[in-house]
């Protein structure tokens, strides 16, 4: 089945939006040239508390459930280029090509593929022009990283995708797996024609792909900070404290007094023993804070003597 879908995917990039053999409306700006914008994703630092106990794992899983589920798309809005259009499901024609929207200003969703909001690459295609003038995706190449694409189903359920990058490919050499293939992320790719119009072939020489990714809803943080640990004390080379009885706690931060200021010296995950080893523990004072799954930090515990 996967091979069939990828074959169809290859067809769409070679033939999508084929059929308007008369008239050519030039693309604005970088006509016929590859265009790219940088990925807007930010490289994240590794988590402070790399392992969470089962209760905190459960909390994080529940947080992820607030993310939108996949939908059967019925309309699309792209505010940055003033696009509002209905979406038609399209399949694979008898000649192996992907179907195209019946209305020049509608957008086609590749229905045999991924639904928007699912893990993988959902694909929408739209005409760039027709015999009578610009069509729905005429300004698609003007999109920039960070622009939003809003897709709704028939009941009004809404998903918002954020532009990550864009690129033009020769119609016979686009990366099929990258555009239509599997992915752990929830992606939506927008396709239209670009480049010179080949009258002999009845289509444009290039395909523009705008890559977007689902904007997950923010998880609301608790209104109050976590409780502070208690009974912090030093015994020999060990600093110990009592755990905070809250399933949201991800870990603890240990602070040591140095030259009159308290400096963080350790991060202890919630599943670990509530202690910190320091050969010089008897020469310093300490306090401990609790940190929840939302990275909110409690007030300090008592300061050790």
Residues 6+ apart with CB under 8 A from 68: 117, 157, 158, 159, 214, 216, 217
The dihedral over CA atoms of 171, 175, 177, 179, expressed in degrees to the nearest 10, equals -70
Task: Quote the strand ranges of 111-185, DSSP E.
Answer: 120-126, 129-130, 133-134, 148-152, 158-170
Dihedral over alpha carbons 208, 209, 210, 212 (to 10 degrees): 170
CB 270 within 8 A of CB 277: no
Catalytic residues: 127, 193
Nearest to 262 by CA among 225, 299, 224: 299
The token pair at 38 is 């940088």
């Amino acid at each position: 089945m996967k091979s069939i879908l990828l074959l169809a995917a290859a067809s769409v990039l070679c033939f999508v939006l084929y059929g308007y053999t008369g008239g050519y409306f030039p693309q604005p700006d970088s006509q016929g040239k590859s265009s790219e914008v940088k990925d807007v994703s930010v490289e994240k630092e590794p988590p402070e508390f790399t392992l969470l106990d089962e209760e905190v794992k459960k909390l994080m899983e529940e947080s992820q459930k607030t993310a939108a589920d996949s939908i059967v798309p019925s309309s699309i809005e792209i505010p940055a280029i003033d696009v509002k259009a209905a979406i038609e499901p399209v399949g694979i024609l008898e000649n192996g090509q992907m179907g195209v929207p019946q209305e020049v200003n509608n957008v086609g969703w590749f229905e045999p593929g991924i639904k928007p909001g699912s893990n993988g690459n959902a694909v929408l295609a739209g005409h760039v022009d027709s015999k009578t003038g610009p069509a729905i995706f005429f300004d698609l190449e003007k999109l920039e990283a960070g622009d939003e694409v809003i897709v709704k189903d028939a009941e009004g359920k809404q998903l918002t995708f954020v532009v990550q990058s864009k690129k033009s490919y020769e119609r016979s050499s686009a990366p099929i797996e990258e555009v239509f293939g599997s992915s752990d992320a929830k992606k939506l790719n927008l396709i239209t024609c670009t480049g010179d119009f080949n009258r002999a072939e009845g289509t444009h020489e290039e395909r523009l792909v705008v890559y977007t990714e689902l904007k997950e809803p923010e998880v609301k943080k608790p209104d109050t900070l976590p409780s502070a640990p208690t009974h912090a004390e030093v015994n020999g080379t060990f600093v110990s404290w009592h755990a905070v009885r809250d399933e949201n706690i991800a870990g603890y931060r240990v602070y040591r007094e140095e030259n009159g200021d308290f400096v963080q010296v350790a991060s202890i995950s919630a599943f670990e023993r509530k202690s910190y080893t320091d050969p010089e523990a008897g020469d310093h004072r300490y306090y401990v804070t609790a940190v929840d799954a939302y990275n909110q930090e409690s007030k300090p515990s008592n300061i050790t003597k």
